[in-house]
Amino acid sequence: MAKKRKGKQKVRASFRKRQNTRVRKTDFTREFKDDAQSLENEQTGERVSGKGSLTRKRTIIGASADTPDAGFEVELDVNESSSIAGRALRVHGLNSFVLGDDGRIYTCTVRGILKSLATDLQHVVVAGDHVMVAKGSESGDDDQGVIIRVEPRRNQISRTSRKRQQILVANVDLALIVASAAEPGLKPNLIDRFLISAEQAEIKPVVIINKVDLVDAANLQPVVGVWAQLGYRVILTSTVTGHGIDELRDLVAGKDCVVAGQSGVGKSSILNAIEPGLELRVSKVSTENQKGRHTTTTAQLIPLGDPPGSGGHLVDTPGIRSMALWDIIPEEVAGLFPDIRPFINDCKFPNCEHTHEEDCAVKWAVADGKLDARRYESYCYIREGDGV
């Protein structure tokens, strides 16, 4: 395919100087070379790297010329006549399915240079990504394309999976953290982990407790009340009785929302209830689920409305058994707990870990009943269990 050079697009990228000592496989601060190829390489690598609250400033934001750090310009060759903007719906193996701005779905591979940057990432492209696609393939198939650029992410939820960063979803407004009151039973510590992840990503979380038809809702109050007091919205739902579904539908209208949670809690069932006609696969909770056979196997962005996406998007995700946080340093953990945060300045030692110290205001708060003991337990697990 002949390459036209008329549609050049300028991207201003600014890089923050490295401040912490964390070692990544690629040193992005090494000198930048002049040729556009290597600049693009550096830029994309930086952009797809981890994004904890200490590191997010490194994210490249197109045309953010007013960043105090010295910026520089990168010229990316984008052949506008044969490329199209779109949104990644789903990534399956080597293929990414992209909804183009023209309303068509393209089956795409990913440009080699983007893939070679994925040093600590499981996937380069994730559901929810805004991408540029070069249309067409060598065989002339017009439903195919190549993802040539992944736009900077507004936000992303990541976890650590097999020592690598797994980005679960990108560019969402709301994280619906789904748990079930029974079958499987409520695991408050896992919900806390999701809440911390959402705090870390600066994505507003909402806690959904599904299958309330199976329990006496009054029994949920003690644990649910703690989250509600923290200002987290909690919605009790049942896809069997329809309880809470209208409230949820109103909440997600026009937004981009991800549903996340353990397998079998009813994530896909909830999406089916919100949007009749979706018909996502759901299946019985069985011992197979416990072994990791999930009904939903890949994250999927579902555009709502007509034209698709005009009514917002929902992202269904596979069940997650563990939520090990990615790119978090020990000192950050307490700050991500809104209920622990107010006490940390009163600790005797500025580097207090709030675990073994004697003079610890956080531990006093637990003893005085000002801080929920179960939440404090979650804090201790996260601080220890994630190897931070």
Ligand X SMILES: Nc1nc2c(ncn2[C@@H]2O[C@H](COP(=O)(O)OP(=O)(O)OP(=O)(O)O)[C@@H](O)[C@H]2O)c(=O)[nH]1
* Contacting positions for ligand X (CB under 6 A): 210-211, 213-214, 238-240, 263-269, 282-285, 294-296, 318-319
Q: What is the largest CA-CA distance in the chain?
A: 72
Q: To 10 degrees, the CA torsion angle through 373, 374, 375, 376?
A: 50
Q: Please name every residue paired with 73 in a beta bridge, in sequence order, or none if there are none.
A: 12
| d(C-alpha 284, C-alpha 263), whole Å | 10
Does the protein bind Zn ion through residue 354 (CB under 5 A)?
yes
Instruction: Look at residue 375 and give the partner it binds from Zn ion, Mg ion, ligand X, none, a contact being a CB closer than 5 to 8 Å depending on partner kind.
Output: none
Closer Cβ to ligand X, 273 or 360, answer by number: 273
Residues from 293 through 312 that contact Mg ion (CB under 5 A):
295-296
Shortest approach of Zn ion to residue 380 CB, angstroms?
A: 12
Instruction: Look at residue 354 and give the partner it binds from Zn ion, Mg ion, ligand X, none, a contact being a CB closer than 5 to 8 Å depending on partner kind.
Output: Zn ion
Going through 3-129 in order, the beta strands assigned E by DSSP cover 8-14, 71-77, 83-92, 95-100, 105-110
Residue with tokens 């023209």: 102
Closer Cβ to Mg ion, 267 or 383, answer by number: 267
Q: Please, are residues 153 and 129 in contact by the beta-carbon 8 Å criterion?
A: yes
Does the protein bind Zn ion through residue 360 (CB under 5 A)?
yes
Closer Cβ to Zn ion, 181 or 334, answer by number: 334
Shortest approach of ligand X to residue 157 CB, angstroms?
A: 15
Q: Please, are residues 157 and 169 in contact by the beta-carbon 8 Å criterion?
A: yes
Tokens describing residue 225: 């009340």
| d(C-alpha 355, C-alpha 358), whole Å | 9
Which window, 48-56, 225-233, 236-244, 355-363, contacts Zn ion (CB under 5 A)?
355-363
Q: Please name every residue paired with 169 in a beta bridge, in sequence order, or none if there are none.
A: 157
Does the protein bind Mg ion through residue 96 (CB under 5 A)?
no
Closest among 284, 59, 281, 85 to 156, alpha carbons compared: 59
Closest among 134, 2, 13 to 78, alpha carbons compared: 134
Instruction: Look at residue 239 and give the partner it binds from Zn ion, Mg ion, ligand X, none, a contact being a CB closer than 5 to 8 Å depending on partner kind.
Output: ligand X
Q: Please, are residues 35 and 42 in contact by the beta-carbon 8 Å criterion?
A: no
Instruction: Look at residue 301 and give the partner it binds from ligand X, Zn ion, Mg ion, none, a contact being a CB closer than 5 to 8 Å depending on partner kind.
Output: none
* Residue of 171, 268, 289, 300 that binds Mg ion (CB under 5 A): 268
Instruction: Look at residue 313 and give the partner it binds from ligand X, Zn ion, Mg ion, none, a contact being a CB closer than 5 to 8 Å depending on partner kind.
Output: none
Instruction: Look at residue 111 and give the partner it binds from Mg ion, Zn ion, ligand X, none, a contact being a CB closer than 5 to 8 Å depending on partner kind.
Output: none
Residues engaged in binding Zn ion (CB under 5 A): 347, 352, 354, 360, 362
Residues engaged in binding Mg ion (CB under 5 A): 267-268, 295-296
